[in-house]
């Protein structure tokens, strides 16, 4: 009986010892298990982070070459941005390649969008006038050549078509100002109201620039300065609305039935006229010495104190010694195409030339040259055919 009790006590002691060992080892096992899970999770994270690197680079051998190429692309892309921003790359890092992709996508998208946008058709093209041929093969959709002294029409093409006239509008602007006999020495300041809201075009006459009315007239007629022309209308007695009303009233007085003005610059495509009406306007404007002198001035410098602005005539034929031009005005907006009106002496004859909706930057000048040579040939032929004695 005593032996049984001793064995029972030993068994209890062994069970207690085993339980104590198990309880003491539990935290160690738990910590080891947690560490194993953390290690396994970390491996997965590293693998996930490394995945983009494997997808970007084709192979370890190709990686250095791709990194160099990517560096060059990044600098090229960055150099096109404002401020010439330089992108700093960490060599060999996949994040650098990712930056290249992110920066190149917007510029590529803009390029595709620019290619997808079709150029805006001029009003003449929209009306189907450009398909009409003429013996001189002119670039202009509309053309008219008149002998100023006899009113003889020497050449015409779609001369009754009513189209946007762009900055040819400024010729009427100058005529209204000149006939009002305003003080040309009065100083006028360019304001925010003179900033182009039709096309968003730029100007070298910053808001706050102050010039005389005469200088603004010079820039408007010679180099087609939009803010100058708008300021002339804005500061006219009665304001801009009164000035536009007088422009239209003058057109009516001259019998320009196809003509309508809504503002003094020509930036609005609602300013419209026909070649016939414009020939009338040129003939009347030619009678004003100030319009002749300012519109045919080759160049002009504006002294702004700290800097001097140099302006050139928008008509390249002015500086051509083979031309004798008495008055001129150019114009361009996309709806009107390239336009030109001139009074010029050709083969001893005083001619008025009107060209509307020409294609290409030099199209209207080329048309004027073709007409001049054609008139010279026609005049020579008539002189040869004239009876002697």
Taking CA atoms, 325 is separated from 4, 224, 270, 341, 346, in Å, by 140, 17, 29, 11, 9
224 is catalytic: yes
Phi, psi for 230 (deg, rounded to 5) = -65, -40
What is the overall mean pLDDT for the chain?
80
Q: Choose, from 94, 140, 223, 224, the residue flagged as catalytic.
A: 224
Phi, psi for 75 (deg, rounded to 5) = -65, -40
Q: Any idea where the domains of the chain sit in the sequence?
A: 162-385
Phi, psi for 335 (deg, rounded to 5) = -70, -25
167 is catalytic: yes
Mean pLDDT of 313-324: 97
Summarize pLDDT for 189-236 with one digit per residue, the tens. Answer: 999 999 999 999 999 999 999 999 999 999 999 999 999 999 999 999
Q: What is the pLDDT of residue 14?
A: 67
Supply 278's token pair: 């414009």
Evaluate if residue 80 carries a pLDDT over 50: no
Are 7 and 15 contacting, i.e. CB atoms less than 8 angstroms apart? no
Chain centre distance of CA 21: 86
Q: Choose, from 99, 157, 170, 329, the residue flagged as catalytic.
A: 170
**Superfamily classification of domain 162-385:** DD-peptidase/beta-lactamase superfamily (3.40.710.10)
Task: Tell me the β-bridge partners of 142.
Answer: 356
Evaluate if residue 358 carries a pLDDT over 80: yes
Q: What is the pLDDT of residue 88?
A: 38
The pLDDT-based confidence of 74 (bands split at 50, 70, 90) is very low
43 is catalytic: no
Q: Choose, from 167, 273, 295, 314, the residue flagged as catalytic.
A: 167
d(CA 315, CA 355): 13
């Amino acid at each position: 009986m005593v032996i049984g009790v001793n064995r029972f006590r030993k068994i209890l002691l062994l069970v207690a010892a085993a339980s104590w060992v198990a309880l003491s080892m539990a935290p160690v096992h738990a910590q080891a298990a947690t560490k194993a899970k953390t290690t396994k999770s970390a491996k997965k994270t590293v693998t996930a982070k490394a995945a983009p690197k494997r997808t970007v680079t084709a192979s370890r051998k190709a990686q250095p070459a791709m990194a160099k190429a990517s560096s060059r692309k990044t600098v090229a892309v960055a150099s096109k941005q404002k401020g010439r921003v330089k992108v700093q790359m960490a060599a060999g890092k996949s994040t650098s390649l990712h930056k290249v992709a992110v920066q190149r996508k917007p510029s590529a998208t803009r390029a595709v969008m620019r290619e997808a946008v079709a150029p805006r058709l001029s009003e003449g093209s929209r009306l189907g006038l450009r398909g009409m041929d003429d013996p001189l093969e002119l670039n202009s959709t509309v053309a008219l050549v008149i002998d100023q002294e006899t009113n003889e029409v020497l050449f015409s093409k779609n001369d009754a078509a009513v189209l946007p006239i762009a900055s040819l509008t400024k010729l009427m602007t100058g005529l209204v100002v000149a006939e009002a006999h305003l003080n040309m020495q009065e100083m006028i300041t360019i304001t925010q109201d003179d900033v182009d809201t039709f096309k968003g075009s730029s100007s070298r006459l910053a808001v706050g620039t102050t010039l005389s009315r005469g200088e603004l007239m010079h820039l408007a007629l010679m180099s087609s300065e939009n803010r100058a022309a708008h300021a002339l209308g804005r500061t006219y007695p009665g304001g801009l609305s009164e000035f536009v009303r007088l422009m239209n009233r003058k057109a009516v007085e001259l019998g320009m039935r196809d003509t309508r003005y809504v503002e003094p610059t020509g930036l609005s495509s609602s300013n419209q006229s026909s070649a016939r009406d414009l020939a009338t306007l040129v003939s009347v404007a030619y009678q004003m010495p100030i319009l002749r002198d300012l519109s045919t001035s080759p160049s002009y410098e504006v002294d702004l104190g700290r800097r001097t602005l140099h302006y050139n005539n928008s008509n390249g034929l002015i500086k051509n010694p083979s031309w004798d031009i008495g008055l001129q005005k150019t114009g361009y907006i996309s709806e009107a195409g390239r336009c030109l009106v001139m009074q010029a002496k050709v083969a001893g004859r005083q001619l008025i030339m009107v060209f509307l909706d020409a294609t290409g930057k030099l199209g209207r000048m080329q048309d004027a040259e073709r007409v001049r040579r054609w008139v010279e040939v026609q005049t020579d032929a008539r002189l040869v055919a004239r009876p002697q004695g």
